[in-house]
Chain A
Amino acid sequence: MSKLEAAFKNNKFAITSEIGPPKGVSFEQILKENISLRERVDAINVTDLQSSVMRLGSLAFSKILLDNGIEPVFQLTCRDRNRLALQSDLLSAAVLGIENVLLLTGDHPVLGDHPEAKPVYDLDSVQLLDCAKGLINGVDLCGNKLTGSPKLFLGAVVNPGVETIDLELLKMEKKVKAGAQFFQTQAVYDLSSFERFMKKAITFGVPIMAGIVLLKSANMARYLNDNVAGINVPDGLIKRMQDSKDKVKTSIGIASSLIKELKGNCQGVHIMPIGWDKHVVAVLDQAGL
């Protein structure tokens, strides 16, 4: 059983961070910044060509983490692989010793740095979860038997702040039915809407990790509000970033207080430092985790 799965099983407040692999093959710096998290988090997500930007693959970087004593959450999206490749990559992850996987639809290629790429989306995230559950049970999507079935811990994502929350919850319930064993959420800043979301989401009986994105500036906060669905950074926090002489300190302060307030209302937090990997330890320190 993975450390992450064990944390949920033992009702321990779970902590994950997130790495975006480099655009190139020099990974040592990112790895160095994350080594200090080894004893502090249950696992670290490795994003799969996040924002549809071509970069080092999530499977390879997940293995690098594993070799360095850090448990990975291998992110796998439907954007670039058809059902053969998706299933094969899940088997590959399992033989490399990677158990935690986070299965997503994936950002559309037009939003990334290869906008002329052909989008795949042979499966959607619900179908991929369903298919991964099948692999765990020893059969592929077409019902063919596997020789040895993978041990996987299936994660999914949910966006608790979207306008059409009933529809989001409907899809979340389908993900649970399909086999999701834990959820990580989009960034949360608005505690009251998160609380409303959790009232219903908790009834699905699957652990939920609240997403924490480190704010780097007031402009970034405004950008998130204007462009990313379901994110609502309150004016008070934007003003704190705006007025701050020490953005890093303020950002750490905001993230750690969010975690403290969210702690009683979810089963863990998923921190997305977006390049500020070296500050995650300070966030955890201040949050008392």
Chain B
Amino acid sequence: MIVTKQKSFQDIMEALKNKTNIFIIGCGECATTCKTGGEDEVKLLCAELSKNNKNITGFVIPKAPCVVSQTKRDLSKFRAELERSDCILVMACGLGVQAVIQSKRFNSKVVSGCDTLFAGSMTSLGEFFEFCSSCGECLLNITGGLCPVTRCPKSLLNGPCGGAKDGKCEVDRTKDCVWILIYERLKELGELDNIKSIVKAKNHRKNLRPGVRSLKKEN
């Protein structure tokens, strides 16, 4: 999922400067799980903004605002409210914000209420960890299902830097050295041979930044 963090109320107010009639769009997927743009958070924000002299024209929580067709369908039910609004506040990730703009259901300015952090997985304790950086060249099949591109701060592909102490990463002592985890996992699986040959340098053409990667239907 895409992990987000709400901007501070002060930052949101600054982004809404000179705007009075605000329509809010939340997110029924990731931002709900992250508690940044679910129904509870959106209602709370409506109340706070009202207290600060903003007029809330309405709100909607599409299941996934990043899916343009869904957003179009959901927003079509709020034509009148959108027309009355001089600003749309989106409580979702950067994908949600941009998909809302693409939906072309209104002409008002769109403002983002969240900072997008990373693509992460959530543990059973409700903590988020970035375990994949969408590099376009997945190594998980040789590294025992643990990603060194993302979880090693140096993205080392051929083994650890040698700086781990008590199994913890030199760069962040609160995190495990992923190369030690990979080694232990492969030993368990009897697949240590996987990491004995040299892994060649990554092809960064598959992961160019800035750039727009796409996946289109093949004919």
Instruction: Judge whether A164 and B164 touch: CB under 8 Å.
Output: yes
In the docked arrangement, what's the CA distance between A173 and B166, Å? 23
Structural contact, B162 and A110, CB atoms closer than 8 A: no
Nearest CB of chain B from residue A85's CB, rounded to whole Å: 14
Q: Does A271 contact B (CB under 8 A)?
A: no
A123 at the interface (CB under 8 A from B): yes
Chain B contact residues: over half helix, strand or loop, or mixed? loop
In the complex, 15 of the A-B residue pairs with CB atoms within 8 angstroms, ordered by the A residue number, are A105-B154, A105-B161, A108-B171, A111-B170, A119-B153, A123-B201, A124-B154, A124-B156, A124-B157, A126-B199, A163-B167, A164-B164, A170-B183, A170-B192, A229-B164
CB pair B155 A167 closer than 8 Å: no
Q: How many residues of B contact A (CB 8 A)?
A: 30
B153: contacting residue among A108, A141, A178, CB under 8 A: A108
Q: Mark B100-114, 1 if CB is under 8 A from A, else 0.
A: 000000000000000
CB proximity to A under 8 Å, residues B159-210: 159-167, 170-171, 179-180, 183, 192, 195-202, 204
Whether the Cβ atoms of B164 and A105 lie closer than 8 Å is no
A126 adjacent to B166 (CB under 8 Å)? no
> A104 to nearest B CB, angstroms?
9
B158 within 8 A of A: yes
CB-contact partner of A174 in B155, B165, B196, under 8 A:
B196
Q: Are A227 and B165 in contact (CB under 8 A)?
A: yes
A187 to chain B, nearest CB (A): 12
CB of A126 within 8 A of CB of B162, answer: no
Q: Which of B154, B162, B195 lies in contact with A186, CB distance below 8 A?
A: B162
A side interface size, CB within 8 A: 39
* Distance between Cα atoms of A181 and B157 in the complex (Å): 21
Is B160 in contact with A111, judged by CB distance below 8 angstroms?
A: no
Say how far A156's CB is from chain B's closest CB, in angstroms: 11
CA distance A123 to B154 in the complex (A): 9
Residues of A within 8 A of B157 (CB): 124, 126-127
Give complex CA distance A235, B90 in Å. 60
In the complex, A130 has a CB within 8 A of chain B: yes
**Please, how many angstroms separate the alpha-carbon atoms of A127 and B55 in the complex?**
59
Q: Is A159 an interface residue (CB 8 A)?
A: yes
- With CB as the reference atom, state the residue of chain B lying closest to A160: B162
B108: shortest Cβ distance to chain A, in Å?
Answer: 36
Contact residues in B for A79 (Cβ distance below 8 Å): 154
Q: Which 10 residue pairs are nearest across A and B when measured between Cβ atoms? A: A171-B159, A126-B158, A159-B162, A229-B165, A121-B154, A124-B156, A167-B183, A108-B171, A127-B201, A229-B163
A168 to B162, CA, bound (A): 7
Cβ of A230 under 8 Å from chain B = yes
Residues in A with CB closer than 8 Å to B164 are 162-164, 229
Q: How far is the CA of A34 from the CA of B41 in the complex (A)?
A: 65
Known A-B contacts A126-B198, A178-B198; A171 and B165 likewise in contact (beta carbons under 8 Å): no
B154 contacts A164, C-beta separation under 8 Å:
no
Q: State in angstroms the CA–CA spacing of A164 and B163 once bound together.
A: 11
A108-B153, A111-B171 given; A163·B204 CB < 8 A: no
A152-187 to B contact mask, C-beta < 8 Å, 1/0: 000001110011101110110110011000000010
In the assembled complex, the Cα of A127 lies from the Cα of B165 at a distance in Å of 24
Please tell me if A247 contacts chain B, counting CB pairs below 8 Å.
no
B201 contacts A141, C-beta separation under 8 Å: yes
What's the least CB distance linking A103 to chain B, in Å?
A: 12
Do the beta carbons of A127 and B162 come within 8 Å of each other? no
A158 touches B159 (CB 8 A): no
Closest B residue to A159 by beta carbon equals B162
Chain B nearest CB from A185 CB (Å) reads: 10
Say how far A111's CB is from chain B's closest CB, in angstroms.
7
Residue A83 CB within 8 A of the other chain: yes
CB distance from A134 to the nearest CB of B (A): 11
B166, B171, B196, B199: the one contacting A170 at CB < 8 Å is: B196
Nearest residue, chain B, Cβ from A105: B161
Supplied contacts A78-B154, A167-B183, A229-B162, 8 more A-B pairs, CB within 8 Å: A110-B153, A122-B201, A125-B158, A126-B158, A127-B158, A141-B201, A163-B166, A228-B165
Chain A residue at minimal CB-CB distance from B166: A163
